A and B are shown apart, each in its own frame.
Chain A
């Protein structure tokens, strides 16, 4: 993790694509599970990285070196409002040249989990996904969401309990 921050501080343009490769998967699937929509999650992921790049471009190397990139990216992602869509009209859009399917293969029964997660309230869903799908710690989630650690813990706990109930009701 620190190696990546070091490389970013040394050569932002050359290293940034590696950040996308390394952290994009987790960011996208976390957002995908939180918002429940593939296209919206893709837009949000792209927007997060673009804003991250612009921010890093203005930072001193020492500041970049000291950064913990993963929670920082999540903080950007969680702060994106709906107005981010306005900026998209000012950007070139990629044209898919291959016939690759647009829907990614989802492990497990992805659709069923989207339905289960949609039962949770926003705070619980964010907390559960960040803790167990993305794998962030309680302190990091507290920083990202701006909610006290105790509250985050309770959100995760109640969210998991609610998911268990939902699964039981299915059978």
Chain B
């Protein structure tokens, strides 16, 4: 055989994983991997832009297809931010982890970014989020944005609750998971329900005459607390709003 013919045969098959690697690198497919959380094992999906969804394993693929509709490939997250995923799940905020919120509207994205600022161990009413995104009347729109959060646990939508005492629904397996999570984080969901049942919205510390939302870390260690049914009532009693939890609305 002459040399040209031999050179022509110096090829083989397409290497394993090349098709998948290209699909993942272009974003035509998303990768998924398993992580531990306070709710047990969860599935995290990601692409070069960041983490795109978090879900529980049961029924995951159907929900994913309905919502994001891309091809899924078992993969490892990009090395540049892989280590931030367990940390973000544990702390309940993205931190340095990039999140891909291209599947939601600009308003919903704003709501989710605000939600991500709620500290661990605390909760905020839907109205508070509406106020923070400068749409104080859009409480219902905030509600549906939070319900559609594609990245629960990392964007802590479980920290947004109804002001009437109901903990509210939760996309990640139902309301019992929301209560479990809040208990795990020390946000005292039972106390919140009890306060709401008594129509108490804010609590003031007579020592510094500052009033806060019930889970604010500022009033955690206070020896005595005065309960108020509204921010107006607290103001009337000569109390000033806390600058950390901003108990408005």
Contacts and interface: CB of A to CB of B under 8 A. Distances in A.
Interface string B182-213: 00000000000000000000000000000000
Interface in B58-81: 73-80
A107 B75 CA distance: 30
Contact of B20 (A90, A94, A129): A94
A17 B8 contact: no
A13 B28 CA distance: 7
B10 A24 contact: no
B6 interface: yes
Interface size class of B (residues with CB under 8 A): 35 or more
B75 A160 contact: no
B102 interface: no
Contacts of B46: 92
Pick the most buried of B16, B24, B76: most chain A CB atoms within 10 A of its CB.
B16
B26 to A, nearest CB: 4
Given A160-B3, A167-B3, A28 B48 contact: no
Nearest to B21: A46
Interface stretch (A2-10, A59-67, A98-106, A139-147): A98-106
Given A46-B22, A92-B24, A93-B24, A108 B14 contact: no
A72 interface: no
B13 interface: yes
A113 B24 CA distance: 32
Nearest to B13: A104
A31 to B, nearest CB: 11
Interface size class of A (residues with CB under 8 A): 35 or more
Contacts of A153: none
Interface string A73-97: 0000000000000001111111111
Given A94-B73, A94-B75, A110-B10, A28 B18 contact: yes
Nearest to A110: B10
B15 A28 contact: yes
Pick the most buried of B3, B12, B19, B77: most chain A CB atoms within 10 A of its CB.
B12
Contacts of B75: 92-95
Interface of B: 3-4, 6-26, 28, 30-31, 33, 46-48, 73-80
